[in-house]
Structure 1
Amino acid sequence: METETKPAVEERTMAVIAHLSALAFGTGSFVPAIFWAEQRKKSRYASFQSLQAYGYQSLGYTVWMLAYLAIAVFMLILLIVLAAVAGSSLSSPDTLFLVWVVAFFCMAFGLFGLYLLFPLIGAVACALGKDFRYPLLGSRLAKYLGYDFSKPDQPIDQTHEEHFAASMGHFNVILFFWGLFGPLALWLTQGKQSAFLKLQSVQTVVYQTIGSLIYFGISLVASVMFIPLYAGVIMAENGMAGEAINPVTMIMFFVGMCLFGLITLFGPLYHILGQWAGLRTLQGHDYRYPLIGRLIEKWLSKPEILTEQ
């Protein structure tokens, strides 16, 4: 009969930090990715806990955002229905709206608190050397990897391990800008050991970098387009000379609105494609992003790049 071996202090410390990185609200998702890459050949315990924490932050944040949107839609519909039912008999519309706002924020922050609760429990459990599993995710991941805490000599399925790590990088698209640092860490630390992980990570970094730059660029230009109209209105209110509304300022304002419309339209498509890439990779496919995937693959296959590898 095999007995459980309590993880070493270093293993437990890394596992604790990996779980606690969730408290950074998405900006620390690269921490468990680095720990997994560092420990995957050294400690089954630390690598599993780190990979699990990485997955929780990627998938958990996605689920939290979807749940938040669902709550927002539900509460909005509820407000409309209550207002319609009450009709003219409603003596104080402000009271109804206030109750609605309080209920909405209680649900939203309560859900986010629940999201942060599990990493705290995980950190405490790992500090005590326990085999912590996130609800829904932990046991499934352990089965997927072939991980058993009570069998320290049982190897982990490295192919599945890499597919999961790569897919979480794709799912990190939900963590705007900060999400690309996880796959970047995997590229830099695992690129020479795994061609699959390198290609997937490079793709993810390029895709999310392009998306972030386009978003920042369009937002900046759109904001600049609004300045003349706003400045003109402020000047007019203060009795200063100049017309607040003229053809030039209105055209600039219209262009700015169109640019923000593009963000609103294509933003969800950008996220959906990243999520789709994560799903396909998790299913075992060697995914390629449209356009950039093949270009990156050709770049990585160049003789000078292969020599560096």
Structure 2
Amino acid sequence: MTAPPATPMPGPMPDDTDPSLPLEQALDWFIRLQAEDAGDECRRACADWCAADPRNARAWALAQDMWASPLLTEALAATTVPNAAPREAAPTVSLRPSRRSRPLARRAMAWAAGLLVAVGLGLAADLPLRLQADHRTATGVQERLQLADGSRVLMDTGTALATDVEGGERRTRLLRGAAFFEVTPDPARPFRVAAGPAVVTVVGTAFAVRYLDDRVTVTVRHGTVDVARPGGPAVRLRAGEEVVVTASGVGVEHPADLSAALGWVDGRLVFEDRPLGEVLDELDRYYPGLILVPDSLADRRITGNYRLDDPARTATALAGLVRAETLRVSDALLILRPRP
């Protein structure tokens, strides 16, 4: 019987590598060392990897600290782990794990490691987006810009924008996130915003463009805008209307709930009769880490109006609406769970 090819061992990180790599590699080592057949050779190789670069050592320490937290045990117990048995206790992890620690099912380990990767990385933007953007906002940060033509832009959390308004045309590209535009009128130079499959054209108005998950939503507060796919017919939106654009085409314009759709412009999270899971997905965009909710709570429907500048406090308030509590595993991981 032919043996399967060996999985390459993680190596030291070169200077130009994605900064997320050390944590991913540390978690890979973590899973290897939890295997029942992990031996001295594997432990020595992990020790060599840690010694090869200070960033590797820091990533290993972070992975251990987060995993060793007893709160993570409770978090995993409160959240569905696909095809895995319930976890009894968090193992003590070192370069020589205790023989008494019960190995976890590999799928459960991989799931939890993936969770730690998401937490550790803070869902950072990739390098190509960083290179294209003229302006970017970090998680939980909003920024106001004044463009060369006098137009003003409010960039929402996690937004990347490229601008070119100094020539014969006024062009911007929303690479990710959401932005609210207040455009200075100039009939000779229409203002265009490209976002994914959509192009928005205006002369002077106030409107928002949201581009997330390959879906573009355009909402108009004042004036009119034309929304189209490149080379396709335009849909005209007037004040109080919005439309969704995807790769399959431009949707039908419809009245918008401006208080909810544009609540973020005023620093608010506004929702009416929405599932808790959807509300927390939106709140999570402002939280520098990860907010998790179990399936047993995610479908509870809620209504509210909350501030966005303190997402952890808002999550706690939302938990109270459904008789739940928040469990803070670290500064980067917040979990809602039913009260005992």
TM-score, structure 1 normalization = 0.29
TM-score, structure 2 normalization = 0.27
Higher helix share: 1
Q: Relative contact order, CA 8 A, sep 6+: which one is greater? A: 1
